[in-house]
C-alpha cells in the first residue's frame, strides 16, 4: 500500500468516526471493517484520539417541542409507508420468503454455534512513528496464535551496527518481552504459543538496538514505531 493510499484510508476513517459520511458511504465503510484490518485499526485510532473531546462535552437534551415535531413527522411517514406495503401483494410475497429464509439460516446458525466452540478474537496493530505518527508496520494476530508483521512503507537501509527489535507488553506485566529481531522492510511471522493470550490495548513497539539485539531484557535504543492492539 502506497503512502498516498494510507493517507486516503486515514482520511476515510476520520470521516467515518466524525460522522460526515453519507448513510450509503457509512454502510460501505462498516462492511469493509470486517475484512480490512488496516482500515479497522485506523478507525480505532481516530476513536481513541477523539474520545477525550467527546468526554468533555455535556449531552444536550432536545426540547419538548422538538420531540413533538419528530414524533408527528415520523408517525406520518410510517403510516404512509405501511399503507402502501399493506396494499401491495409483492410485499407479502417478499415477507413470506424472507421469513422462510430467516428460519433456515437461524437453524443452520444454531447448529454451527452449538457444535463449534467460539473462536478467540483477532487483533491488529498499526505501528506508527512516535514523531510524525506515520504508519510503518501492520501487525496481525490470528486465531492460530501467529503474529504477522508487514511493512507498510519503504524502509530506510539499516546501519551496519544496528538492528530492529520487536517488543510487547500487556497491562500487569512486569516488563516488555522481546519477540525477536527484524530486518527493515521484510515481513516476519512469530509464534505466540509461549505468551499469555493477547489483550486489547496491548503495547507493541520496535526499537533500534545493537546487532545482536538488546543486551538486557529491556529496550535500550530509541522507539521507531509504536502501537496498541485493537480487536477486530
Residue 12 per-residue DSSP state:
H
DSSP of 69-127, one letter per residue?
Answer: HHHHHHHHHHHHHHHHHHT-HHHHHHHHHHHHHHHHHHHHHHHHHHHSPPPPPPEEEEE
Tell me: pLDDT of 56 over 60.
no
Residues 126 and 218 in one domain: yes
Residues 168 and 150 in one domain: yes
CATH of the domain at 213: 2.60.40
Residues 126 and 172 in one domain: yes
Q: Examine residue 63 and state whether it is found in any structural domain, yes or no.
A: no
Between 184 and 118, residue with greater pLDDT: 184
pLDDT number for residue 202: 92
Residues 131 and 227 in one domain: yes
pLDDT band at 110 (very low <50, low <70, confident <90, very high): very low
Q: Examine residue 161 and state whether it is found in any structural domain, yes or no.
A: yes
Tell me: pLDDT of 203 over 90.
yes
Q: Examine residue 65 and state whether it is found in any structural domain, yes or no.
A: no
How does pLDDT run across 159-178, given as a tens digit for each residue?
A: 788 999 999 999 889 899 99
Range of the domain at 198: 121-231
Residues 171 and 126 in one domain: yes
Average pLDDT, the chain: 77
Residues 155 and 183 in one domain: yes
Stretch 69-74: mean pLDDT, rounded? Answer: 71
Which value, in Å, is the radius of gyration of the alpha carbons in the chain?
24
d(CA 163, CA 203): 20
Residues 139 and 227 in one domain: yes
Report how far apart, in Å, the C-alpha atoms of 77 and of each of 64, 66, 87, 193 are: 20, 17, 16, 57
Residues 200 and 106 in one domain: no
Q: Where are the alpha helices (DSSP H) in the chain?
A: 3-18, 23-32, 37-55, 64-86, 89-115
Number of structural domains the chain divides into: 3
Tell me: pLDDT of 124 over 60.
yes
Q: Examine residue 212 and state whether it is found in any structural domain, yes or no.
A: yes
Q: Examine residue 12 and state whether it is found in any structural domain, yes or no.
A: yes
H/E segment holding residue 33: none
Report how far apart, in Å, the C-alpha atoms of 165 and of each of 82, 140, 229 are: 62, 17, 18
- Give yes or no for a contact between 14 and 51, defined as CB atoms under 8 angstroms apart: no
Residues 126 and 112 in one domain: no
pTM of the complete model: 0.54
Q: Examine residue 60 and state whether it is found in any structural domain, yes or no.
A: no
Stretch 129-146: mean pLDDT, rounded? Answer: 85
Amino acid at each position: 500500500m502506497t503512502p498516498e493510499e494510507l493517507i486516503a484510508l486515514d482520511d476515510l476513517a476520520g470521516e467515518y468516526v466524525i460522522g460526515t459520511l453519507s448513510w450509503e458511504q457509512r454502510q460501505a465503510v462498516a462492511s469493509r471493517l470486517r475484512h480490512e484490518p488496516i482500515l479497522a485499526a485506523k478507525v480505532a485510532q481516530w476513536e481513541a484520539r477523539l474520545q477525550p473531546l467527546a468526554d468533555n462535552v455535556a449531552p444536550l437534551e432536545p426540547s419538548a417541542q422538538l420531540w413533538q415535531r419528530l414524533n408527528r413527522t415520523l408517525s406520518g411517514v410510517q403510516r404512509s409507508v405501511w399503507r402502501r406495503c399493506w396494499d401491495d401483494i409483492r410485499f407479502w410475497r417478499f415477507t413470506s420468503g424472507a421469513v422462510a429464509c430467516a428460519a433456515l439460516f437461524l437453524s443452520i446458525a444454531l447448529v454451527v454455534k452449538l457444535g463449534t466452540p467460539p473462536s478467540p478474537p483477532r487483533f491488529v496493530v498499526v505501528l506508527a512513528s512516535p514523531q510524525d505518527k506515520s504508519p510503518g508496520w501492520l501487525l496481525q494476530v490470528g486465531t492460530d496464535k501467529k503474529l504477522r508483521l508487514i511493512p507498510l512503507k519503504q524502509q530506510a537501509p539499516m546501519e551496519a551496527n544496528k538492528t530492529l527489535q520487536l517488543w510487547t507488553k500487556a497491562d500487569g506485566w512486569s516488563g516488555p518481552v522481546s519477540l525477536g529481531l527484524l530486518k527493515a522492510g521484510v515481513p516476519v511471522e512469530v509464534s505466540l504459543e509461549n505468551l499469555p493470550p493477547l489483550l486489547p490495548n496491548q503495547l507493541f513497539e520496535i526499537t533500534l538496538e545493537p546487532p545482536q539485539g538488546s543486551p538486557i531484557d529491556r529496550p535500550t535504543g530509541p522507539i521507531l514505531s509504536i502501537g496498541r492492539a485493537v480487536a477486530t
